């Protein structure tokens, strides 16, 4: 017999009754029923009930075991009494009588329990992550993660892509986040960087003549943490293709993502039609470039109904350049109680409040109510109602100013309204491509032009588009949103050196600076670069959605905490004086 097990803890059934078997695993739970000890023995695959009575020669040894001890048992498989069958587990029709036991690893007093549904602080869970990962939910999440990655790899190979590995240590390259820098021992005072993404290398693979590339790539960014973002590292499905248009990329990646969500989505509906929404329309109607389309509510501009109206706050606001008033329709929200609750929500977000109108029964049909309605009069409120397509029992909420100053709160309000009024289809994955991102933006304080989005994207219209107003230039850049999260980001790349230099010049970068920062790419583009494009899909976020989790740390085996610390391994750690000397470094204390 194998030294540790003849079966896993999920394999035994009534066909094994009478056999002598060997199992190894962890003591999930111990129960004493009138002197008979019942143990739920757990391994990665499942649970088997084993038991020992006082007549057994090893009863005294079995009495010593406690939760999470790792043990090996030999025993005889017996059928459970029909009244004691447990249909919730695959081994629920049998139990194993212990004949011999060996303690493989005793456990000290546990800082957190694996059995049960107790809640523990995140710091405790991360410090003892190896215990936290033993819990059923975490085992399920990590198995899901592994299966999703395997499925993605198969799907990419099946459509003609090959996997290539790109460097993990490279040159610093500004790509929207801070680099993690690595000091060089051989070149004192100089630093490598961990790649924020394989962006430049995958483009260089296309210049090298490899037509289709993909990689399950680790990426490293020194970022502030969020619930849907790791503060240090993450994994993405990275892909690139030559001789393609934007639509080619969409048509290639959609079946891969769609198939993964159908395979692992637990029967939830996966949208087959993925609309393409311009960045401008996304910000107008949803207040965000990652809208949750399960919520049908779309905001609209209603400035004309308030211009010169009796509501002085909005009327005077509209006299300022670049301002507008937007309405958030709220079908079914037509009660003063709900409107007051949403007004309080706006105040909690740092705004003075949120104007509202709601419609109810009146003498002549539908009647508008609320402070705004009294100020602007029945004709304007009726025009607003007709524009928004609302009726009795509905409401609308209003925010005004420069859109960039209020649209984040507007987006949150739209989400809250949709959820509270039950407009969301929770049993659905809703996808949308966000397209036509602006390449440039103007700094509100300095008036200088800088990049708003990916500087490596090909401008729509090529070099000719760069001769006009920079703020009007759109890029062949795109994101894929799903249920309020950004899952994919990509672009058709700027593969022409003249266009690249002109694009960076508009943002204030000289040719010398471009060649210094992106010398490998700039030089390669001189030698026959093909048109190419691609995208990257966040593995962690995909698994988070499939696992129905709200925090990305629930689907990463060993994540950092909110302060980018690894409490389990003690990172970041202080290097020894010898290490610092070898690297020609010293730490300067901050004031």
* 380-422 pLDDT per residue, tens: 999 999 999 999 999 999 999 999 889 999 999 999 999 999 9
Residues 81 and 198 in one domain: no
The C-alpha atoms of residue 234 and residue 537 are separated, in whole angstroms, by 11
Please report whether residue 432 resides in a domain: no
CATH of the domain at 26: 2.40.50.140
Please report whether residue 319 resides in a domain: yes
Residues 215 and 265 in one domain: yes
Compute the radius of gyration of the chain from its Cα atoms: 30
Strand order through the sheet with 162-163: 162-163, 212-220, 233-242, 532-538, 485-492, 477-482, 431-435, 276-278
Residues 38 and 145 in one domain: no
Look at the block and give the residue holding tokens 């039950």. 422
Boundary (domain end) residue, out of 73, 105, 137: 105
Q: Is the peptide bond before 236 cis (omega within 30 degrees of 0)?
A: no
Residues 416 and 535 in one domain: no
Residues 29 and 143 in one domain: no
* 458-516 pLDDT per residue, tens: 999 999 999 989 999 999 999 999 999 999 999 999 999 999 999 999 999 999 998 98
Look at the block and give the residue holding tokens 């104007």. 355
Please report whether residue 308 resides in a domain: yes
Residues 392 and 348 in one domain: yes
> Are residues 368 and 378 in contact, defined by beta-carbon separation less than 8 angstroms?
yes
Please report whether residue 8 resides in a domain: no
Q: What are phi and psi of 345, to 5 degrees?
A: -60, -45
Please report whether residue 247 resides in a domain: yes
Single out the residue of 237, 238, 234, 214 nearest to residue 222, CA to CA: 234
Please report whether residue 392 resides in a domain: yes
Please report whether residue 431 resides in a domain: no
Supply 165's token pair: 């590995």
Boundary (domain end) residue, out of 39, 72, 105: 105
Percent of the chain scoring above 70 in pLDDT: 99
* 103-128 pLDDT per residue, tens: 999 999 999 999 988 899 999 999 99
Residues 318 and 408 in one domain: yes
pLDDT score for 517:
85
The helix or strand, by DSSP H or E, that contains position 464, with its residue range, turns out to be helix 462-465
Helix axes 539-546, 246-264, angle to 10 degrees: 40
Residues 162 and 80 in one domain: no
Residues 380 and 347 in one domain: yes
pLDDT score for 197:
92
Residues 225 and 196 in one domain: yes
The contacts of residue 24 (CB under 8 Å, 6+ apart) are 4, 5, 43, 70, 71, 72, 73, 104
pTM for the predicted model, two decimal places = 0.93
The helix or strand, by DSSP H or E, that contains position 422, with its residue range, turns out to be none
Residues 133 and 93 in one domain: no
The C-alpha atoms of residue 136 and residue 117 are separated, in whole angstroms, by 10
The C-alpha atoms of residue 166 and residue 197 are separated, in whole angstroms, by 10
pLDDT score for 257:
98
Supply 510's token pair: 């000289």
pLDDT score for 176:
64
pLDDT score for 292:
97
Tell me the residue range of the domain where 99 lies. Answer: 14-105
> Are residues 6 and 12 in contact, defined by beta-carbon separation less than 8 angstroms?
no
Q: Does the pLDDT at position 87 exceed 90?
A: yes
CATH of the domain at 379: 3.30.1360.30
Of residues 551 and 350, more confidence is placed in 551
Residues 149 and 260 in one domain: yes
pLDDT score for 224:
82
Boundary (domain end) residue, out of 424, 441, 470: 424
The mean pLDDT of the chain is: 94
Please report whether residue 195 resides in a domain: yes
CATH of the domain at 133: 3.30.930.10
Of residues 461 and 361, more confidence is placed in 461
The contacts of residue 8 (CB under 8 Å, 6+ apart) are 23, 43, 44, 45, 46
* 131-185 pLDDT per residue, tens: 999 999 999 999 999 999 999 999 999 999 999 999 999 988 766 678 999 999 9
Question: In Å, how far from its chain's centre is CA 544?
Answer: 6
The C-alpha atoms of residue 230 and residue 217 are separated, in whole angstroms, by 15
Query: What's the number of domains the chain is made of?
Result: 3
The C-alpha atoms of residue 45 and residue 113 are separated, in whole angstroms, by 19
Percent of the chain scoring above 90 in pLDDT: 84
């Amino acid at each position: 017999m194998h030294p540790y097990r003849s079966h896993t803890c999920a394999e035994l059934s009534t066909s094994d009754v009478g056999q002598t078997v060997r199992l190894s695993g962890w003591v999930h739970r111990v129960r004493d029923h009138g002197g008979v000890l019942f143990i739920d023995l757990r391994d990665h695959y499942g649970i088997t009930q084993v038991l020992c009575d006082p007549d057994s020669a090893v009863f005294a040894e079995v009495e010593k075991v406690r939760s999470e001890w790792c043990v090996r048992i030999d025993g005889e498989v017996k059928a459970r009494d029909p009244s004691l069958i447990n249909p919730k587990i695959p081994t629920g029709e049998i139990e194993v009588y212990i004949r011999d036991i060996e303690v493989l690893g005793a456990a000290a007093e546990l800082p957190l329990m694996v059995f049960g549904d107790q809640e523990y602080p995140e710091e405790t869970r991360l410090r003892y992550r190896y215990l936290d990962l033993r819990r059923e939910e975490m085992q399920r999440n990590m198995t899901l993660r592994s299966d999703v990655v395997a499925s993605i790899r198969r799907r990419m190979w099946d459509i003609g892509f090959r996997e290539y590995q790109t460097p993990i240590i490279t040159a610093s390259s500004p790509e929207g986040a801070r680099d993690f820098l690595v000091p060089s021992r051989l070149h004192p005072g100089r630093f490598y960087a961990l790649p924020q993404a394989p962006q430049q290398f995958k483009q260089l693979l296309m210049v090298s003549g490899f037509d289709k590339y993909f990689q399950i790539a680790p990426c490293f960014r020194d970022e502030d943490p969020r619930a849907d973002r790791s503060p240090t590292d993450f994994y993405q499905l990275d892909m690139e293709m030559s001789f393609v248009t934007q639509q080619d990329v969409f048509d290639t990646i959609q079946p891969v993502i769609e198939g993964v969500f159908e395979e692992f989505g637990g029967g939830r509906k996966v949208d087959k039609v993925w609309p393409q929404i311009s960045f401008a329309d996304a910000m107008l109607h949803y207040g965000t470039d990652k809208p949750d389309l399960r919520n049908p509510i779309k905001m609209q501009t209603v400035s004309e109904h308030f211009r010169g109206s009796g509501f002085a706050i909005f009327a005077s606001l509209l006299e300022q350049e670049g301002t507008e008033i937007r309405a958030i329709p709220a079908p079914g929200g037509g009660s003063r109680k709900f409107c007051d609750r949403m007004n309080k929500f706006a105040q909690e977000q740092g705004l003075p409040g949120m104007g509202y109108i709601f419609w109810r029964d009146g003498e002549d049909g539908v009647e508008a109510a609320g402070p705004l309605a009294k100020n602007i009069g029945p004709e304007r409120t009726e025009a607003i109602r007709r524009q928004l397509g609302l009726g009795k029992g509905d409401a609308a909420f209003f925010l005004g100013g420069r859109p960039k100053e209020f649209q984040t709160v507007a987006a949150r309000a739209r989400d809250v309204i949709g959820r509270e009024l039950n407009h969301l289809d929770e049993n659905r994955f809703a996808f949308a491509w966000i397209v036509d991102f602006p390449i440039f933006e103007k700094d509100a304080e300095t008036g200088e032009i800088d990049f708003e989005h990916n500087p490596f994207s090909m401008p729509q219209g090529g070099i000719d588009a760069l001769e006009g107003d920079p703020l009007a230039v759109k890029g062949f850049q795109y994101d894929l949103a799903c249920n309020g999260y950004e899952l994919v980001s990509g672009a058709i790349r700027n593969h022409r050196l003249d266009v690249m230099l002109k694009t960076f010049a508009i943002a204030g970068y000289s040719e010398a600076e471009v060649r210094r920062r992106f010398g490998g790419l700039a030089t390669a583009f001189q030698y026959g670069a093909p048109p190419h494009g691609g995208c990257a899909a966040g593995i962690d976020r995909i698994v988070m959605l499939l696992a129905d989790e709200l925090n990305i740390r629930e689907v990463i085996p060993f994540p950092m905490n909110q302060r980018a610390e690894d409490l389990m391994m003690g990172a970041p750690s202080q290097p020894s004086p010898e290490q610092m000397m070898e690297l020609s470094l010293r730490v300067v204390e901050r004031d």
